[in-house]
Amino acid sequence: MRKLFAVLLALALPLAANETSVRSLQSGWASNATPVFDHGIHGEGQIIAVLDTGLDYDSCFFAEEDGSVPPINRTLDGMNVNLTRRKVVAYDFLDAGDDPANRAAWDNQGHGTHAAGAAVGDQKTPALHDFDDAIAAGAKLIVQDGGYGPDRCAGLPGLGCPLALGPVLEQAYRQGARIHSNSWGDRQNVSPAAPTPTANYSQSARDVDAFVDTHPDMLVVFNTGNFGTLAVPPPSTLSAPGCAKNTLQVGGTRGQGGVADDTLAIYTLPGPTRDGRIKPDVVGPAFVTAADSDNDPNTHNCNVSGQPGTSFAAPTIAGAAALVRQYYAEGWYPSGAKSAANARTPSAALLKATLIAAARPVPWKTVPNDVVAAAPVPSYEQGFGFPVLDDALFFAGDARKLFIADSANAAGLAAGETTTFRFDAHSGTPLKVVLVWTDPPGVVRAVSDSTPELVNDLDLRITAPGGAATLGNESLHPGAPDRLNNVEQAVINAPQTGTYTITVNAAKLGRGPRQGFALVVTGDMAFAPAPSRVRAVRARG
């Protein structure tokens, strides 16, 4: 099958790239609706940290009214933070070679300003969406400036390699970030002749998994990296540490100059990981028009640029995650109306599960000189698809409902235990279930070693009214449970009217005593109030 329309459309509308993103991420690529913005959710109360080449902080997308310099930290234990600022609440210089007195040292390259612009860039007020504003214009920003120095291990930012990520993530966490966006990784941005990334479980991948294991409310987002030439990239070429287990790794839709979110970009790097896990997790817009640097923080510039690359898909999805986080933090769940009584602190696993539950399969992909049908999801091209937030977030009056469970490890499952949820479903709306858990860190292994990295193995199962079972990610291994991933999805596209039973079973715990998890269920259903449970799982506040 071919699809030429998207290519023509892409060439016609390149300057509207971010305007397209803020709509497609809320209501889909065929819609102009902004149902999340319409409920006053633009990222307010959320802080995203962006670890990149720095920020041109006086750009109109980030600047304070008084033009003041952001609070600067020059050591990893620095806690100079000002939460009253509208945008940049802390600026952490991580590269000892950067001197804040040197104007060019703020964003040494431009990449960081564009990434931050894709996540949280905002002219004027967040309640008003201005042209080229980000999806999370209401969110605040912590800049972690890694400088810039190209190398073959971590192309962007130029922190050098290996990089001990734990203390860097810890700094952003202590300063208040609960979403951390990264557009860099092993062997990214090397020349086409150089080796591509290898989808391996590096020390830095283990660092991320260990950090989220001990800070389970920090969502760490990474891009896949890009193929350096306009050819179909080989399998298992996405980048570490983004391919760790507890990350949300983001591939890309669109292409050079395109805005078609129903079409995968040719350069987005595919999985699976070396141990066979599904990565990326989702895809996002990988051609973004947003704030751009002029390499001088004393110019009051307001320039934008359109740039291709999964580097800009990751912060865009980090912005979408900020909207999801605000939804839970403000207590929109379960009533669909804002309620302080229902406010909760979502785990990273819950944010990831919600974004995956919101994901629509992207039907097309770009190949040299053509657009062809994409593989069905979950796939190693696009993971679970492109998040459309209104598909998961329930607002009062919506036909499609939302049910969640979010349990910390202490309230989770012991080995062999099963939790059961029952739902009375109506036909006509797909029933989708996503299970995500923050898995203990794995073992650093060489590229040639495909030993599974999964430590704790939970299994998802849906049983239909007639008794037919659907297992997590079953299309990848028909009739068998998933033994590799800490993300499992099951979808009933045409449910019957009747009672569906969802179970989560702890098939194996490599590290106990218990494993928590997040479960997200969407569909036209009602929670059946008398579930039979081996052990109840409490929703955590």
Q: In what order do the strands lie in the sheet with 456-463?
A: 469-471, 456-463, 498-509, 418-425, 525-527
Compute the C-alpha angle 357/364/402, nearest 5°. 15
Any alpha helices (H) in 288-382, and if so which ranges?
A: 310-329, 348-357
Q: Considering the rule CB under 5 A, would residue 342 count as an interface residue with Ca ion?
A: no
| Smallest separation (angstroms) from Ca ion to the CB of 176 | 21
Q: Which residue number, 85 or 401, has a Cβ lying nearer to Ca ion? A: 85
Residue 217 is a binding residue for Ca ion (CB under 5 A): no
Residue identified by tokens 């993530």 is 169
Is there binding between residue 439 and Ca ion (CB under 5 A)? no
Given a contact cutoff of 8 angstroms between Cβ atoms, the answer to whether 52 and 59 are in contact is: no
If one asks whether residue 418 binds Ca ion (CB under 5 A), the answer comes out as no
Return the C-alpha torsion angle 201, 443, 283, 154, nearest 10: -40
Site for Ca ion, residues 450 to 489, rule: CB under 5 A: 457, 459, 482
* Stretch touching Ca ion by CB under 5 A, among 207-215, 279-287, 288-296, 491-499: 288-296
- Nearer to Ca ion by Cβ, of 40 and 234: the residue is 40
Asked if 216 and 347 count as a contact pair (C-beta separation under 8 A), the reply is yes
Q: Considering only residues 349-388, where is the footprint of Ca ion by CB under 5 A?
A: none
CA distance 115 to 314: 8
Check binding of 98 to Ca ion (CB under 5 A): yes
Which of 239, 249, 301, 456 is the binder for Ca ion (CB under 5 A)? Answer: 301
3-state secondary structure of 467: coil
Among 44, 56, 186, 207, binds Ca ion (CB under 5 A): 56
Q: Which of 124, 477, 511, 538 binds Ca ion (CB under 5 A)?
A: 124
CB of 487 to Ca ion, least distance (A): 10
CA–CA separation, 257 and 500 (whole Å): 45
User: Closer to Ca ion at the Cβ: 237 or 419?
Assistant: 419
- Least gap, CB of 3 to Ca ion (angstroms): 34
Of 106-114, 152-160, 189-197, 438-446: span binding Ca ion (CB under 5 A): 106-114
Question: Is residue 52 a contact residue for Ca ion (CB under 5 A)?
Answer: no
299 touching Ca ion, by CB under 5 A: yes
In the list 108, 175, 204, 268, the residue contacting Ca ion (rule: CB under 5 A) is 108
Looking at the Cβ atoms of 6 and 17, the one nearer to Ca ion is: 17
**Sequence-separated (6 or more) residues with CB below 8 Å from residue 464:** 470, 492, 495, 496, 498, 500
- DSSP notation for 243-295: TSSSEEEEEEES-TT---TTEE-TTBPP---TT-----SEEEE-EEEEE---S
Decide: 215 and 253 in contact? Cβ < 8 Å. Answer: no
- Please check whether residue 532 is in contact with residue 431, taking contact to mean a CB–CB distance below 8 angstroms: no
Q: Other C-beta atoms within 10 Å of 245: how many?
A: 28
Is residue 330 a contact residue for Ca ion (CB under 5 A)? no
Residues 19, 64, 130, 170: which binds Ca ion (CB under 5 A)? 130
Query: Which stretches of the chain bind Ca ion, using CB under 5 A?
Result: 54, 56, 58, 98, 105, 108, 122-124, 128, 130, 133, 137, 145, 294, 296, 299, 301, 457, 459, 482
